[in-house]
Structure 1
Amino acid sequence: MTAYNTNEMMTVAASRRLKNGAVCFVGIGLPSKAANLARLTTSPDVVLIYESGPIGCKPSVLPLSIGDGELAETADTVVPTGEIFRYWLQGGRIDVGFLGAAQVDRFGNINTTVIGDYNQPKVRLPGAGGAPEIAGSAKEVLIILKQSHRTFVDKLSFITSVGHGEGGDHRKRLGLPGAGPMGIITDLCIMEPEEGTREFVVTSLHPGITREQVVENTGWKIRFADNVAETEAPKPEELEALRALEARTAAAHGQAGGEE
């Protein structure tokens, strides 16, 4: 078996969640890496859309931002940002929103705004961008981030993008059209919302990861599904495609892989 690290496991596991032919609204950073790996491996016909207006992007290197020329140059077409949101996203034409996060809670709500008190924060984060609209209107959402007590918290300092709100039917009561987050993929495991409560529970552990490790790196009392699977290890061709993508990106931008 080809050796791999936990970041590679996370990216590969996330890429597999993107179905071939899906229309995907992609966030910069880890979501972009996973979405483009899917395009290069399991889902060659996935349609990648970025906030700045490019549709059907096929970048050879990972973009530095939504304004990276690589996106427009490799897209099937480029439309105004207003059209991306009003016609594509709010019009119900986005199958999957692929998002990163600074913090997430047990119901898949996302914080990318501040850590600590809003008026006197410990850390001021990059902010919302288009994530609140993506989280609200995409047919479903995938979230990718590294797992720790700092990122998986019992109570968010600020809710930037709504997941399942307070759980149960809260999204429906808020009038949000999309199904909300259907998967959280980390460097330790995969979580999915429990039927009814919509609380995220562990459904798959990555190879070599224990339940104790997940518990230790979660800020709430994490629960596990009745039948917890083991995530399939990355295949050689998946690792080859990922490492080649990261190497091209590093050569183009002078940094390693567009990591968040």
Structure 2
Amino acid sequence: MDTKEISVKDVMQYVPDQAQLATTTYGLGGMPEELLKELGAYYEEHQHPKDVTLMAVAGISRGEGTGMDYLLEPGLLKRFIGTHMSGAPLSAKAALANQYELYMLPQGIIGKLYRDAAAKGPGVWSKVGIGTFVDPRQEGGRINDRAKAAEELVEVTQVNGEEWLYFKPLPINVSFIKATYADPKGNLSFIHEPLKLEALTLAMAAKNAGGIVIAQVEDVVATGTLPAKEVDVPGVLVDYVVKAKPEYHQQTFMTQYSPLLSNEIRTPKVKSRKLPLDNKTVIARRAVRELKPNSFINIGVGMADKVSRLINEADLLDQFTLNTDLGAIGGMTASDYNYGTNYNADAIINTLDMFDYYHGGGIDTTVLGFGQMDVNGNMNTTQIGDMLIGPGGMIDISASASKIIFIGTFTVKGETSVENGQLVINHAGVDKKFKSALSHITFSSKEAIANGKEIIIVTDRAVFEINKNSKLVLTEIAQGLDLENDILDWMEFEPLISDKLKVIDTSYYSESWSLRDYIKE
């Protein structure tokens, strides 16, 4: 074969019925979207391939009608094993209607199962997920009725007298991966990609199963133009190369291409808009005070990125090592729909290696968003009402970090503002976040406390901690708020109240607040 390049329409004939298909992704970044789009179109025309199992470790779409949403033609998708669905509303709706089996497992565990598949291993044993909805004594990761009627993927085992979860092998015989350049031999460079993800491992897994590897690339370059050290997936592991249309090959949802996102260049100062003095900035200020200099800190998606921006505003990025679960280490985490990579990163490592470090306890502190919480400090982000979200890397991260800081607004869609140096409630909200019962347990307080973790919950109205008995304790309240009307009446249970209940530091509500003042203390 002179070249492995093929059209996206022609390559789909090689995807078999009952394919075990795994793909790289984190939303749009890393996702070979044109391959997914054409797979759906090919099935619609040919009714082939049928009953596909799709696997992915992170966000699988960038909004309604994209990514996984291309695969909803009846008969195409049998099962999805993943971690995050909030960007795929049509797929989420189809899952709740039992159109396919939906399993959700911890992000790092799925990555380890990819590596296990590459080595033809026996599965994965881990303590990650004990006490959560992944534990088979709860749901075993089976989210909808169709999955609950199908096979179990997780078992409880005993190893050397200790309790472990055993995750059964995930076979992979088709891999879709996204890269920047390919040469005619199929050697792949990721130079413009923000992250490396699991591309090499997925290619190995499919090839060792006798399957196929299809790479979506930005361009095909001449033989000999890719230096060996810039080749992240060798051509011997790649069967077909598809040159994508630019609109299906962006770096992220927000950005077609920026060398800053791919860390091909650095900038003397990372530019970011100064955070306005509002309720979310107050939350971030209170959270950042819990961080210690010279520590390894995981920054989650969403509001957590404001913590990174506060550190950048103070020119203190050199005092902390910020990282994301996808493999970016150092610098400042990117925000919003660019999330996943870091500007001015010290290193970009493979996602699987990042989770190896996490699972071994490598995180000093993590800052994560929260959805719902109960009186025992258990937390749910997997499904809120009819909204399927998924755990993402939260289960892995919270099992690793010595200190866990959950941040978020106190109520659902509550509106608060900062006026005259204090918090003002403009609209109470449409629902409570502190619930008497949770539909799924994404974070197990009992397991975290048993493993010696410190847990803090920071909201705009109040701050809580979880005590050694896994009970939620109110420790701080915003100045000017009424304990009964503004806090307790907006919780479905009454938490323990600290004997030393205090007012949240009023300096957080001031334009003159400075993180540097804290670092000097």
Q: Same fold (TM over 0.5)?
A: yes
- CA-to-aligned-CA distance 1:71-116 (integer Å, 9 cap, x gap): 2x421111011111102x122221012111211222332211113x
Q: Are positions 1:232 and 2:514 aligned together? A: no
1:28-107 matches, within 5 Å, as: 28-41=301-314, 44=317, 45-59=319-333, 62-68=335-341, 71=342, 73-87=343-357, 89-107=358-376
Matches of 1:107 and 1:38, distance apart in 2: 32
**Structure 1-normalised TM-score?**
0.74
SS at match of 1:192: strand
Report how many aligned residue pairs link the two structures. Answer: 218
Partner of 2:296: 23
Matches of 2:386 and 2:365, distance apart in 1: 29
Alpha-carbon deviation of 1:39? 4.9
Q: Look at both structures and tell me which one has the larger radius of gyration over its CA atoms.
A: 2
- CA-to-aligned-CA distance 1:14-33 (integer Å, 9 cap, x gap): 12112222211111111121
Can you give the 5+ residue segments of structure 2 that lack an aligned partner in the other structure? 1-275, 412-430, 517-521
Q: 1:37 to 1:96 in 2, by over 3 A?
A: same
Matches of 1:240 and 1:136, distance apart in 2: 28
Partner of 1:144: 407
Which structure would you say has the larger RCO, counting Cα contacts within 8 Å and 6 or more residues apart?
A: 1
Q: 1:39 to 1:18 in 2, by over 3 A?
A: farther
Partner of 2:423: none
Of 160, 163, 168, the match for 2:445: 163
Q: 1:4 to 1:181 in 2, by over 3 A?
A: same
Percent of pairs identical after alignment?
Answer: 25
SS at match of 1:226: strand
Alpha-carbon deviation of 1:217? 1.7
Q: 1:57 to 1:106 in 2, by over 3 A?
A: farther
Alpha-carbon deviation of 1:192? 1.2
Q: 1:171 to 1:181 in 2, by over 3 A?
A: closer
User: Are the equivalent residues in 2 in contact too, given 1:143–1:181 (CA < 8 A)?
Assistant: no
User: Are the equivalent residues in 2 in contact too, given 1:28–1:66 (CA < 8 A)?
Assistant: yes
Partner of 1:111: 380
**Structure 2-normalised TM-score?**
0.39
Matches of 2:514 and 2:482, distance apart in 1: 23
SS at match of 1:64: helix
Q: 1:153 to 1:127 in 2, by over 3 A?
A: same
Amino acid in the other structure paired with 2:473: V
Partner of 2:97: none
Alpha-carbon deviation of 1:201? 1.0
SS at match of 2:501: strand
Alpha-carbon deviation of 1:198? 2.5
- CA-to-aligned-CA distance 1:148-194 (integer Å, 9 cap, x gap): 353111111111222235xxxx853xxxx4x3452000010111123
Partner of 2:286: 13
User: Are the equivalent residues in 1 in contact too, given 2:314–2:515 (CA < 8 A)?
Assistant: no
Matches of 1:207 and 1:159, distance apart in 2: 32
SS at match of 2:337: coil
Q: Are positions 1:203 and 2:475 aligned together? A: yes
Matches of 1:33 and 1:131, distance apart in 2: 18
